[in-house]
Amino acid sequence: MSRASFVRLAVVAGFLLLLELLTRTGAIDNLVLIPPSEMVTQLWSMFRSGALDAAMAESFSNIALAFLLSVTFGFTAGLVIHALPRLRRLADPLLASYYAVPFFVFYPLLIAIFGLNRWPLVAIGFAFGAAAMVIATLNGLDRVPRVLRKVARVHRLGRGEEIFLIILPAASPHLFTGLKLALAYSFIGVLAGEFILSGGGLGYSIAYAYDAFDNQTMYALMFFVLALAVLLNAGLHLWEQRLLRRRRRA
């Protein structure tokens, strides 16, 4: 383990220990924050009792749906926009300002249209994630070296072969970045939506526990969501490193 990794681990562990200390001794009121160890034990017992199952199923399915829609739509749209320069000129300013718009404000509107079910949530997750995938796809396609397209022609590849055998593999590092972002954004979008206004899911459970002054449940769930986000992103990051290790200059 490198020195930096060690220090990093120490910082995080130290921070958690500090929290533990402060909350246990009462320096931080338990009405505000409970000790991390209690969060973990509470979470564990909730797992065991199956209390989380329904919420998890709902959130995860919404996230998965938003993610899949983002990725397929984003990738296809990216391909199409890349192929049509006129469309690209229209789309570029839109994409550049996309994340400046607080899309969340559309959430109540989506509820008004679809009702209080999973579709507004999936739509918000999709709205967040799809643009990242489009942008990443465009970047990846832009950066395919021109010489590789010539190689495709020298080998007399058909259009389909050129796309699957040369262009996609060449663009894959960027496409993978798009996947990572789409997942992170779908995750954030769905959970934030559930939190603000919904009838189920992990986000909703957190908000419900907050309203019910149930700190134990609330913090257990918050810990769960945060740990999940960290693990997901770290996992994807490591996978990306492995996939792309061979392509890095030595």
Residues that bind other proteins in the complex, under the rule CB under 8 A:
4, 7-8, 11-12, 31-33, 89-90, 93-94, 96-97, 99-102, 104-109, 111-113, 145, 147-148, 150-151, 153-157, 161, 165-166, 169-170, 172, 184, 187-188, 191-192, 195-197, 203, 206-207, 210, 218, 221-222, 225-226, 229-230, 233-234, 246-250
From 215, 212, 190, select the one nearest 203 (Cα to Cα): 190
Rg (CA), the chain: 22
Going by C-beta distance under 8 Å and a sequence separation of 6 or more, which residues neighbour residue 16? 36
Torsional class of 50: left (φ above 0), alpha (ψ -120 to 50), beta (otherwise): left
For 157, counting Cβ atoms within 10 Å of its Cβ (0-12 exposed, 13-18 middle, 19+ buried), the class is: middle
3-state secondary structure of 213: coil
DSSP codes joined into one string, 141-160: HHTS-HHHHHHHHHTT--HH
Alpha helices in 2-84 (DSSP H): 3-24, 36-49, 53-83
Contact predicate 221/191, CB 8 Å: no
First to last CA, the chain: 20
Supply 65's token pair: 């749906």
Contact predicate 59/194, CB 8 Å: yes
